[in-house]
């Protein structure tokens, strides 16, 4: 068998139906749209419209909620920090902040609320971290390795003075 002998099974590929191409085609004249009415015209489609019946997206109950005050952190595990130090991408002698992590390729972008360190993985390098947040486990792992964590929480929004 050669590559030029390869073929689909008979009937595996079916051509699309060409509507509006004469009465003999079976889809001529009205082209499967029926007679008159909104849906027989061009440009007709109302997504979610069910002929006046209450649409399903309105019949179903709504669930959950989006917290507009939620913080958006770039999350980094301590194991990922150790891997970056081992690969020579992260300098353990200098303070490690969001910009250093971005330059090392540990995080993709510095998000608006900063970096949060999580405690998954092992850490042996002595790191001086300056981040927006860290879990108890992450702080314990960093301090056990001889490093330190400085949490620079984002500044709270200033309330308008009502005088």
pLDDT 10s digit of each residue in the chain, 163 long?
899 999 999 999 999 999 999 999 889 999 988 999 888 888 877 788 888 999 999 999 999 999 999 988 999 999 999 999 999 888 888 888 888 888 988 888 887 888 999 989 898 888 899 999 999 999 999 999 998 999 887 555 555 555 5
| The residue to which tokens 């353990």 are assigned | 92
* 72-143-89-134 Cα dihedral, nearest 10 degrees: 0
In a domain, 106, yes or no: yes
In a domain, 18, yes or no: no
β 148-151/74-77 pair status: unpaired
* 124-104-76-134 Cα dihedral, nearest 10 degrees: 70
- Report the alpha-carbon distance of residue 118 to residue 75 in Å, rounded: 7
Q: What angle do CA 55, 58, 59 make, to 5 degrees?
A: 85
- Report the alpha-carbon distance of residue 78 to residue 143 in Å, rounded: 12
What letter does residue 52 receive in the DSSP assignment? T
Domain count, the chain: 1
Q: Residue 134 CA to chain centroid, in angstroms?
A: 23
* pLDDT value, residue 156: 59
CATH number, domain at 140? 3.100.10.10
Beta strands in 91-152 (DSSP E): 115-118, 128-131, 133-134, 148-151
In a domain, 147, yes or no: yes
In a domain, 136, yes or no: yes
In a domain, 130, yes or no: yes
pTM of the model as a whole: 0.56
């Amino acid at each position: 068998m050669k590559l030029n002998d390869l073929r689909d099974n008979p009937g595996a590929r079916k051509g699309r139906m060409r509507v509006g191409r004469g009465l003999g085609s079976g889809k001529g004249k009205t082209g499967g749209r029926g007679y008159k009415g909104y849906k027989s015209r061009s440009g007709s489609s109302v997504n979610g419209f069910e002929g006046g019946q209450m649409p399903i997206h309105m019949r179903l109950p709504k669930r959950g909620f989006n917290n507009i005050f939620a913080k958006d952190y770039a999350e980094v595990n301590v194991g990922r920090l150790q891997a970056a130090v081992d690969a020579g991408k992260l300098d353990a002698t200098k303070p490690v902040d969001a910009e250093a992590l971005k330059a090392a390729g540990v995080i993709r972008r510095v998000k608006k609320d900063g970096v949060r360190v999580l405690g998954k993985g092992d850490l042996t390098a002595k790191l001086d971290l300056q981040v927006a947040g860290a879990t108890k486990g992450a702080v314990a792992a960093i301090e056990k390795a001889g490093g330190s964590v400085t949490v620079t929480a984002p500044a709270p929004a200033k309330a308008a003075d009502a005088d």
